[in-house]
Amino acid sequence: MNSWITRRVTAAFSAAVLTGAFVAGCGSSGGSNNSSNPLTGGGGQATGSIVVGSDNFLESVLLADIYGQALQAKGYKVSYKLNIASREVTYGLLKSGTITLKPEYNGALLAYLDSLAKKTTPQTSTDQVDAAIASELAPNLEVLQPAQAQDNDTLTLSKQAAAKYHMTANSSIADFVTALNGANVSIGAAAEFQTRYQGILGLEQAYGLKASQITFKSLDAGGTLTETALAQGAVDAGDLFTTDPTITQNGLVTLTDPKNIFGLQNVLPLVNKSALSSAGVDALNAVDAKLDSKTLLDLDVKTQVQKQDPAAVATAWLKSVGLV
């Protein structure tokens, strides 16, 4: 099942995830589907079964394919549960062992963990963020070496809203809030944007954009729904990712974030501590040593614009850098 369409999660399947009935993989990218216990790592040999999961947006699926194929090349039996849901669901699946690995973004992961602990940790450096994550993670989980590649959330304006408020690529969120002068603004994003500091809470607390000014439209996490709404001017602003090629294609304007509410967003694997041997850890670290932001954008263009299969894109890139 290597085509993108056959690996999409249906609405009924997503409902099964949310009700705890998530037991079958939605597809395999060259690995073997199996139901063996994934917590079988340890030692220096690459043995055991790994279940690689992803959040419900295309870049996460691509990264899951990259990590999974790198592990398969080292001898692991890899199966996939892709395009599951947001972090609010996938983190719980990792804790329970339903999946044993997923791609993450360190700043967003820390913000989520902070929300569970009801606190906010300043994100000043990659080392500081990763150390804070380690102190808050569930005891059976760990993050590995971060990549140079980052993919930050943003507040991005439609072409119409940017023109109306005279915003350019050098304009900040603060400039936009000032230009609004108390006027209402429509924002489209995934539902969790409403409750995260990397969302409406941060816009209000750091920039003074009052929640009462915002008409929120629940769309998706930087995906097709949000991209289309911004391109058509159906919302004034939305949460897109910095590596999203539709920003330049559609004349959208991404506002700078001087107060850093969106934090650092280095790509890195989040894994069950028992799942990988040292050989598996080395394989994932080798991936992240090769992955930078330009490379990630290039790969995103292939999957999101050229509509290439993420599994095939992952294979081609891993071969090009000598990792499979």
Give the C-alpha separation, 41 to 50, whole Å: 9
Q: Please check whether residues 18 and 137 belong to one and the same domain.
A: yes
pLDDT at 255 over 70: yes
Single-letter code of the amino acid located at 119: K
Query: Does 259 reside within a domain?
Result: no
Residues 198, 106 share a domain: no
CATH number at residue 36: 3.40.190.10
Q: What is the pLDDT of residue 162?
A: 98
Domain extent for 297: 5-151+264-320
Judgement on whether residues 232 and 274 belong to the same structural domain of the protein: no
Residue with tokens 């590596």: 243
Please indicate, yes or no, whether residues 140 and 197 belong to a single structural domain of this protein: no
Same domain, 41 and 128: yes
Residue 125 confidence (pLDDT): 87
For the ranges 1-15, 132-146, 159-173, the lowest mean pLDDT is seen at: 1-15
For residue 153, what is the DSSP state?
B
Mean pLDDT, to the nearest integer, of 270-295? 94
Q: Which of 52-56, 118-122, 217-221 has the lowest mean pLDDT?
A: 118-122
Higher pLDDT, 37 or 230: 230
The residue from 254, 272, 288 where one domain ends is 254
Between CA 221 and CA 193 the distance in angstroms is 9
* Per-residue pLDDT tens over the stretch 126-137: 899 999 999 999
Same domain membership, residue 137 and residue 62 = yes
Q: Which of 35-39, 58-62, 101-105, 222-226 has the lowest mean pLDDT?
A: 35-39
301 and 206 co-located in one domain: no
Report pLDDT for 323.
97
- How many separate domains does the chain show? 2
Taking the whole predicted model, whether its pTM rises above 0.75 is answered as no
Q: Are residues 238 and 285 in the same domain?
A: no
Q: Kindly calculate the radius of gyration of the chain based on its CA atoms and give it in whole angstroms.
A: 19
**Residue 179 pLDDT more than 70?**
yes
C-alpha–C-alpha distance, residues 163 and 248, integer Å: 15
Tell how strand 156-157 and strand 237-238 pair up: antiparallel
pLDDT digits (tens, 9 = 90+) for 36-80: 333 344 444 556 899 999 998 899 999 999 999 999 999 999 999
The pLDDT of residue 307 is above 90:
yes
Same domain as 175, residue 127: no
171 and 135 together in one domain = no
pLDDT of 293 reads 87
With respect to residue 310, please indicate whether it lies within any of the assigned structural domains: yes
What number is the average pLDDT over the span 312-320?
98
What's the pLDDT band for 119 if we cut at 50, 70, 90?
A: confident
Strand order in the sheet with 77-85: 77-85, 49-55, 101-105, 267-272, 141-143
Token code pair at residue 197: 């500091």
